[in-house]
Chains A and B, each alone.
Chain A
Amino acid sequence: DAMVIQNPRYQVTQFGKPVTLSCSQTLNHNVMYWYQQKSSQAPKLLFHYYDKDFNNEADTPDNFQSRRPNTSFCFLDIRSPGLGDAAMYLCATSRAGPNEKLFFGSGTQLSVL
C-alpha cells in the first residue's frame, strides 16, 4: 500500500563519496519534492519537479543534484557529501495547486563518516 517509497531507509557513506537516494511513487502525481531535515529542525526544500520542469531553491548547494527520468521515479544525488550533509532526506509528491496536500515517504537517514 506504500504510495511514496524511499530507499534505502538508512544510508551510510564516506566523506566525499558520491551517494544517490531514490524515491518512487504509485500515485501518478506530477509534482515531486526533495526536502532535507536536520535534527529537531523543519524540513528544508531542496528542489522540486513539476512534471519534467526542475525548480531549484536558490540556497540549495551545487553539491545536490536531482534526476526525474519518468513520472514515478526521482533521485537525489549528493556529489561529494560533507559531514554537514548528514540528515534525513524526505521525498514527497502531490498534484499541482495550493489546495493539494503532499504525500511523504518514510525518508532516508543519511550518515556521513
Chain B
Amino acid sequence: AQKITQTQPGMFVQEKEAVTLDCTYDTSDQSYGLFWYKQPSSGEMIFLIYQGSYDEQNATEGRYSLNFQKARKSANLVISASQLGDSAMYFCAMREWADKLVFGAGTILRVKS
C-alpha cells in the first residue's frame, strides 16, 4: 500500500504568491516523522521542514510551513512569497520506527515571473 501520496504531479505559481503542495500519508505507528525535501535540477536533496507526529503546532521554517492535520493524515507544504529559485521537485516523506524514509512520487513546482 502506498504510504505517501502526492496527488499533484506538477504545479505552477506566480512569483511572490503562496502555493500549497499536498501530501497524505498512511501509517499505523503512533510515532512517526514527516519531512519535505526539495530537489533542484542539480539533483541534490535539500531538507526543508519536519513535523513530528506528537507535535501540536504546525512546523515553520522561514517561508516554509507545514499544514499538519493528523486526523486527516495530511501534511501539506505551504511556500509563501514564491521565488524563481523555488522551481524544483518537492518530495514529501515519512519515517517510522523502522528507520526507513519513504518518499512520495513528488510534485514539480514551476514559479512564473
Contacts and interface: CB of A to CB of B under 8 A. Distances in A.
Interface of A: 31, 33, 40-43, 45, 48, 50, 55, 88, 90, 92, 94, 96-104, 106-107, 109
B62 interface: no
Contact of B35 (A33, A48, A88, A101): A101
Given A48-B100, A98-B95, A106 B105 contact: no
B45 A90 contact: yes
28 contacts: A33-B100, A40-B106, A41-B105, A42-B91, A42-B104, A42-B105, A42-B106, A45-B100, A45-B101, A55-B100, A88-B43, A92-B101, A98-B29, A98-B31, A98-B33, A98-B52, A98-B53, A98-B96, A98-B97, A98-B99, A99-B95, A100-B95, A101-B35, A102-B47, A104-B44, A107-B44, A107-B45, A109-B43
Interface in B28-51: 29, 31-33, 35, 37, 43-45, 47, 50
Interface of B: 29, 31-33, 35, 37, 43-45, 47, 50, 52-53, 89, 91, 95-97, 99-106, 108
A106 B39 CA distance: 11
A106 B46 CA distance: 10
